[in-house]
Amino acid sequence: MTAPRLGWWWFAAPVLVLGVVFFTFDKVLLAGYTIAAGLGLAALLRLVLPTARSGGLAVRSRGVDVVTMAALGIALAVITSVLDLRPRS
């Protein structure tokens, strides 16, 4: 039995990992926007690629996958944009 191919998933994964790396170095705003961009990239790839080539991005139907990833990306970008990270005095 062969393992399933991950396909184009590898184009979105490094962006998401980079966001986590930014977060570990206390770059919260940059991390939030980077992860949101990674989710947007994943949604775009899932939208334009056929299901057979989507690999690890194909979890449910195309519509559900795209809407879920796009909504999470937009929500994260909005939440990141309203963060107030100034120290309290």
Q: What is the pLDDT of residues 10-61, one digit of tens each?
A: 889 999 999 999 999 999 999 999 999 999 999 999 999 988 888 888 889 9
For the full predicted model, state whether its pTM sits above 0.85. yes
Q: Does residue 10 fall inside a structural domain?
A: no
Q: Rounded distance, CA 11 to CA 9, Å?
A: 5
Whether 55 is in a domain gets the answer: yes
Tell me whether residue 40 is in a domain: yes
Residue 4, in any domain of the structure: no
Q: Which residues contact 48 (CB under 8 A, 6 or more apart)?
A: none
Q: How many domains does the chain have?
A: 1
| Helix axes 28-48 and 9-24, enclosed angle (nearest 10) | 170
Per the domain annotation, does 66 fall within a domain? yes
Q: How confident is the model at residue 63 (pLDDT cuts 50, 70, 90)?
A: very high
Residue 5, C-beta contacts closer than 8 angstroms, at least 6 positions apart: 55
Which structural domain, as residue segments, surrounds residue 37? 28-81
Q: Identify whether the C-beta of residue 28 lies closer than 8 Å to the C-beta of residue 84.
A: no
